[in-house]
Structure 1
């Protein structure tokens, strides 16, 4: 028989576990710290499990407490999401997506109109920042992370296809006074550095040791979208992702000036809570995004295949 527990006690435990303090939980729930302590005791009695270690005036989750907290916090996040959904004017679904700035700017924004056309009932809220977000807080439905590592506790992740990293520049630079036709030609050009990428010019140069590059010079940017924009403006040659530069390549604002095998690196990952991964709005967004990525992957392979020497 399933044990029934006090929802009030669970709420007190969730706040204390998430905030790491009975006092802070009390402030959030507008009760006294002793009331939080009492409710946690009630829950421990009901479960017959110790959830917190009491150490003088501080508390720390037990192993059982951490496991319980992960599931309970995710459940409260789902309740918050359900509340937002049913109170949205017009009955539509709001999908909140957090993304790294370059992916948001270079890839996602140009495709949002297509997403909206396919799923008009979903209103997307896009947040872009480099900081990690805690999905268990309930404010974010999906996080698109770069070089994400293993998913956090209580989350699931699906990796994007590998990033293909290649040198790119403006057509005017490629065909200018010092044409770029082969890797050795880069020695006469400015290199644009994107400093947050998994692989940079030093990694590329290790693959092409005969090419003399001045790796200490050139503009440096901490976001790929800025490095790509600088290359479009003719400031030099960037080394970046075909995924992120696809729009500029298709428009003829950038070119891959010579054919060499691309660097392949793990790129972004699609992260959601296990407990919300099957919500219709998240499934719809995931399926659309993965289809678009697959379409992009095919285009990238065709583009590289069209370059002399890589076909």
Structure 2
């Protein structure tokens, strides 16, 4: 049997108009012109043979028939939205969506991802990178790696992974061109490299070293720390590094740490996710794995 239904675009336009109380706000929500919304509502009224609303100076007023019809439409659209979300989320039961800071992803997480995948071949991992603060109501993600102070967000589970330890590193070949780095004051003879997202790292380390005659804000600045580390490998200068992100480079000799001073910043990396996702299978697999990886790295560094 053929369904006797008015045009769906007209139904959407009227439901949005009734819910917003305004043709203008309905147009903004549906991203069309106000004129298009008005034509759709008029089309629906013609199809039904009734007046659904009247235009007034500050918006619209629903007629009795319009208010009753809008209530039914709202319930129907809510049900469609609920069922659509359920269908869309079902294929994601085995998908772990992670949001990470770019350098954390490039220098720490991706090199370890093969190990996680080997243990959990049924889980697909989707990675996005951003420096922006997580908003689980807006971002379509399961888990976030947060850098900074411990995030105090309602309804969110947070667990510390590891702290931030700063140290200057550079290519061993840098000293073929520039003087050696035997003491912190020798940095005055070198180009300082840093990330634009970490402008306080050099000043923090220099203060701890007791140096007030070297400007930590001078030098070459890069969009993220991963680029700054690569610049150091390419012998452009000395980068203020986060220890966890250069361990492999120090081990293989791509980078060296000629100065012994290590400075903690008080900032740390945290795994963060909504408490409502705590029982999700992908989260239950991921959290203990990344906590164990962090603990192993800390133990190896301590040794």
Please give the TM-score of this superposition, normalised by the length of structure 2.
0.69
Q: CA distance change for structure 1 residues 141 and 247 in 2, over 3 Å: closer, same or farther?
A: same
Confirm or deny that 1:205 pairs with 2:206. Answer: yes
Matches within 5 A, 1:40-59: none
Cα distance between partner residues in 2 of 1:268 and 1:198: 18
Where do 5+ consecutive residues of structure 2 fail to align?
Answer: 1-14, 20-24, 32-40, 42-59, 76-80
Please give the TM-score of this superposition, normalised by the length of structure 1.
0.67
Give the structure 1 partner of residue 49 of structure 2: none
Q: CA distance change for structure 1 residues 85 and 133 in 2, over 3 Å: closer, same or farther?
A: same
Q: CA distance change for structure 1 residues 93 and 234 in 2, over 3 Å: closer, same or farther?
A: same
Cα distance between partner residues in 2 of 1:167 and 1:124: 33
Identify which range, 198-207 or 122-131, moves more after superposition: 198-207
Give the structure 1 partner of residue 170 of structure 2: 169
Give the structure 2 partner of residue 108 of structure 1: 109
Aligned CA-pair RMSD: 3.8
Cα distance between partner residues in 1 of 2:215 and 2:29: 59
Cα distance between partner residues in 1 of 2:28 and 2:156: 24
Confirm or deny that 1:87 pairs with 2:72. Answer: no
- 1:144 is paired with a residue whose SS is strand
Cα distance between partner residues in 2 of 1:160 and 1:178: 37
- 1:238 is paired with a residue whose SS is strand
Deviation, structure 1 residue 267: 2.2
Q: CA distance change for structure 1 residues 177 and 133 in 2, over 3 Å: closer, same or farther?
A: closer
* Large movers: runs of 4+ above 6 Å: 32-36
Cα distance between partner residues in 2 of 1:135 and 1:194: 27
Cα distance between partner residues in 2 of 1:236 and 1:144: 29
Cα distance between partner residues in 1 of 2:225 and 2:264: 16
Give the structure 2 partner of residue 46 of structure 1: none
Deviation, structure 1 residue 176: 5.7
Q: In 2, are the aligned partners of 1:242 and 1:300 still within 8 Å (CA)?
A: no
Deviation, structure 1 residue 246: 2.2
Cα distance between partner residues in 2 of 1:202 and 1:26: 47
Give the structure 2 partner of residue 125 of structure 1: 126
Give the structure 2 partner of residue 144 of structure 1: 145
Deviation, structure 1 residue 265: 2.6
Give the structure 2 partner of residue 178 of structure 1: 179
Where do 5+ consecutive residues of structure 1 fail to align?
Answer: 1-11, 17-21, 44-75, 303-311
Give the structure 2 partner of residue 255 of structure 1: 256
Q: Which has the larger radius of gyration?
A: 2
Q: CA distance change for structure 1 residues 240 and 24 in 2, over 3 Å: closer, same or farther?
A: farther
Give the structure 2 partner of residue 276 of structure 1: 277
What whole-Å deviation, never above 9, does each CA across 1:189-247 have from its counterpart, x for those lacking one? 11112231274211222122246424353101231111111111111111120112223
- 1:248 is paired with a residue whose SS is helix
- 1:173 is paired with a residue whose SS is helix
Q: In 2, are the aligned partners of 1:183 and 1:211 still within 8 Å (CA)?
A: no
Q: In 1, are the aligned partners of 2:193 and 2:221 still within 8 Å (CA)?
A: yes
Cα distance between partner residues in 1 of 2:272 and 2:87: 22
- 2:140 is paired with a residue whose SS is coil
Identify which range, 128-137 or 217-226, moves more after superposition: 128-137
- 1:156 is paired with a residue whose SS is strand
Confirm or deny that 1:191 pairs with 2:192. Answer: yes
